[in-house]
Structure 1
Amino acid sequence: MSLVARSVAPLIAAAVAAGTLLGAAPAHADDAGFMKYLNSHGYTARYAGDEPISEPSVRALGHMICENLRVGRSVEVQQPNYPAWPQFLLIAEAARQEICPGA
């Protein structure tokens, strides 16, 4: 192997690896769109006990829903784990639309 080939091979391997990682990233992860979807569909930002839900908490739940969908856990399987979230199905719908379409 020539000196040039030996010098360029690691660069090519790194570029291919970077391209693979970028290709594996979600095609569309829009937290602002997620919150806009919720707010335009009747989201109340309240837990079952009427305590307010912070925006970071609901965004985190949206991302968690997506991660579970990616590993094969349906929304129906996830829902019983969140009894304090009365609008879980709406949050899941917004997550599917805005954070992880196609999941």
Structure 2
Amino acid sequence: MNWVARSASSVVAAVVAAGTLVGAAPAHADDAGFMKYLNSHGYTARYAGDEPILEPSVRALGHMICENLRVGRSVEAQQPNYPAWPQFSLIAEAARQEICPGA
């Protein structure tokens, strides 16, 4: 293999490796970490009327909070829309820590 071919192949390998690292999601930005954060911070999984909140619903709310943060809606602006969620602030805190830490 000549010098040009070896150099080109090294560049391609480096670009592929860099793309893999850049494309990877942050290790802590996940639903399991989100639920663990909630459960370790006093989350009760109950609506204001004392009905149980199913895990898929709270995960969906966490992702919705993140999407709203990404478009510029603060947690404070979102909270009045969720009166049935008495622990909305805690859910938002967990979402910021575990699902969308950069938002």
Q: Which residue of 2 aligns with 1:32?
A: 32
The structure 1 segments of at least 4 consecutive aligned residues displaced by more than 3 Å after TM superposition are 25-28
Compute the displacement of 1:102 (Å): 1.4
Structure 2 unmatched ranges of 5 or more: 1-18
Match of 2:41 in 1: 41
Cα root mean square deviation, aligned: 2.2
Matches within 5 A, 1:6-21: none
User: In the comparison of the two structures, how many residue pairs are matched?
Assistant: 86
Aligned equivalents of 2:28, 2:69: Cα separation in 1: 15
> Please, what TM-score do these two structures have when normalized by structure 1?
0.75
Structure 1 residue 55 corresponds to structure 2 residue 55:
yes
Q: TM-score, normalising length from structure 2?
A: 0.75
Once the two structures are superposed, residues 9-59 of structure 1 have per-residue CA deviations (whole angstroms, 9 ceiling, x without a partner) of xxxxxxxxxx6xx75x77753100000000000000000000000000000
Over the matched positions of the two proteins, sequence identity in percent amounts to: 95
